[in-house]
A and B are shown apart, each in its own frame.
Chain A
Amino acid sequence: MKLTLQQVLAIVQKDLMVEMRARDLLVLMLTFAVLSLVIFYLALDLWGPVVQRVGPGLLWMTITFAAMLGMGRTFVREYERGTLAGLLLAPIDRGALFISKLLANLIFLFIMEAVTLPMFALLFDLPVLNPAVMLATLLGTLGLAILGTMFSAMAAHSRAREALLPLLLLPTTVPIIIGAVQATSNAISGVADGPPWIGLLIAFDVIFLTLSYLLFEHAIEG
């Protein structure tokens, strides 16, 4: 158990160090997210109650596509540089390898959201920096990261790896995105009743996390 924890921390630390020096993944995600929000702001001319209805959808569209860009590189980068085999040679439980990559992805996504959310609040004048929106963002991001990490591993072995990830990820993230948009919308408008979107997000996160943890070995070993 101690070794597994040490292995997980080593991989997360390594991923952060590599990203700090390469600066390709975070820059890509941040640039995309910022540009998307600016384009939505300039092109859609949203105001009043319309912003409250459409805003959460725009926010999650931005987060989802930016996340897809970044997470697509998680295993592709390891595969293309030949370091994936080095990881697979190590006596590390494949589930622990999945958790390592998931944690690294979550850190990158939270950094991206730390810029995106305040900018969204500023441009669209919506109170997204409150605990209820943060909870919806946390759970939605976790779901995206789980599926993104899993499918990034599956796509890495494919020749059409760049195109395959969106094809795999978009249909499966539908419940996560719907849940996150609705939970964010409720949190912004202060609606307390209605369907339990947070509960739905938690349920899907648990299901996807369990399945991915168990199936990751088959995904990563091709």
Chain B
Amino acid sequence: MADPGTDDVDTAVEVQGITKRYGAQAALDQVDLCLGCNERLAVLGPNGAGKTTLIAVLATLVRPSAGTLRVMGFDSADAPNEVRRRIGVVAHQTYLYEELSARENLLFYGRLYGMPDLEARVEMLLKLVDIYPRRHEQIANLSRGMQQRVALARALVHDPDVLLLDEPDTGLDQAHLDLLASLVQGRAIPARTVILTTHNLDRALELCGRVAVLAQGRLVYQAASAALDRAALRDAYHRLAGAAP
């Protein structure tokens, strides 16, 4: 078995029997998942299926009631900070401080991860997400789409091995949806493992090599995108999740 965190690790994310209960209600129920390095998975599911809970558990923000999570060989129960160091998260909330500028936010988060050459990396990311001309403006003065782009840069500031994206297209215009696609597909930045939740079947098929359907906390379907077209995925989704996407 390869040493955790080294280049020899070939499984980026390994989830076994993850269950998360809130009282009697299971938000996640015995979820198993295995993703190789640089693999991209889109998770589809109706509202309340457990997609956001899955991302929160993978991000170590929510402790599972049962099951294990390993990221780049590190167990989240034994080495949570090693796991955190290796994941970048874009969620519904941007995690940005409204009173700070885009640049100040990225510098702050970069310092929390102890990034070397932080100034240069922040400058590169601000240019990458097309926010550089407004880098000194407070986050509160930026539009939701601009804030979302800064949130993408924040998730990348520590160069994570795994990106967890919970409906990352919120507020993005067409030009920046293309930017998101290039980030996810590893064209704008080096490729990395991505888990993305979305309601958009086309985007799931376009961006990710695998798609999965989550329904009532259970992973009920997984397939390679290459083996599917939109109609087949829609049919599977409708049949298994019981709702039109």
Contact = CB atoms under 8 A, between A and B. Distances in A.
A19 B208 CA distance: 42
Given A18-B100, A221-B63, A85 B112 contact: no
**Most chain A CB inside 10 Å of its own CB: which residue of B87, B94, B104, B113:** B113
Contacts of A22: 99
Interface string B129-148: 00000000010000000000
A90 B94 contact: no
A92 B199 CA distance: 33
Interface string A188-222: 00000000000000000000000000000000010
A131 interface: no
A91 B95 contact: no
A18 B60 contact: no
Nearest to A7: B112
B114 A82 contact: no
A91 B109 contact: no
Contacts of A93: 81
Nearest to B59: A89
28 contacts: A6-B111, A7-B114, A10-B111, A14-B100, A14-B108, A17-B99, A17-B100, A18-B99, A18-B100, A21-B100, A21-B138, A81-B98, A82-B95, A83-B97, A85-B93, A86-B109, A87-B112, A89-B59, A89-B84, A89-B87, A89-B89, A90-B112, A90-B113, A91-B81, A91-B84, A91-B85, A92-B81, A92-B112
A88 interface: yes
Q: Which 3 A-B pairs have the closest CB atoms?
A: A86-B95, A82-B93, A91-B81
A89 B95 contact: yes
| Size class of the B contact interface (CB-based, 8 Å) | 20 to 34
A3 interface: yes
A90 B83 CA distance: 10
Nearest to A82: B93
Interface residues of A, number: 23
Given A7-B112, A90-B109, A221-B63, A83 B82 contact: no
Contacts of A18: 97, 99-100
Contact of B61 (A3, A88, A91): A88
Nearest to A84: B95
B111 A82 contact: no
A10 B106 CA distance: 12
Interface of B: 59-61, 63, 81-82, 84-85, 87, 89, 91, 93-100, 104, 108-109, 111-114, 138, 154
Nearest to B104: A17
B132 to A, nearest CB: 21
Contacts of B104: 17
B93 A3 contact: no
Nearest to B94: A82
Interface of A: 3, 6-7, 10-11, 14, 17-18, 21-22, 81-83, 85-93, 221
A86 B138 CA distance: 18
A49 B104 CA distance: 54
A159 to B, nearest CB: 15
A10 B84 CA distance: 18
A18 B91 CA distance: 22
**Most chain B CB inside 10 Å of its own CB: which residue of A3, A14, A88, A93:** A14
Contact of A10 (B93, B99, B112): B112
Given A11-B112, A91-B113, 16 more contacts: A3-B114, A6-B111, A7-B111, A10-B108, A14-B97, A17-B100, A18-B97, A18-B99, A18-B100, A21-B100, A21-B138, A89-B60, A89-B95, A91-B84, A91-B85, A92-B112
A171 B111 CA distance: 38
A80 to B, nearest CB: 10
Contacts of B84: 89-91
Contacts of A87: 112
Contact of A83 (B60, B87, B95): B95
A7 B115 CA distance: 11
A82 B56 CA distance: 13
B44 to A, nearest CB: 23
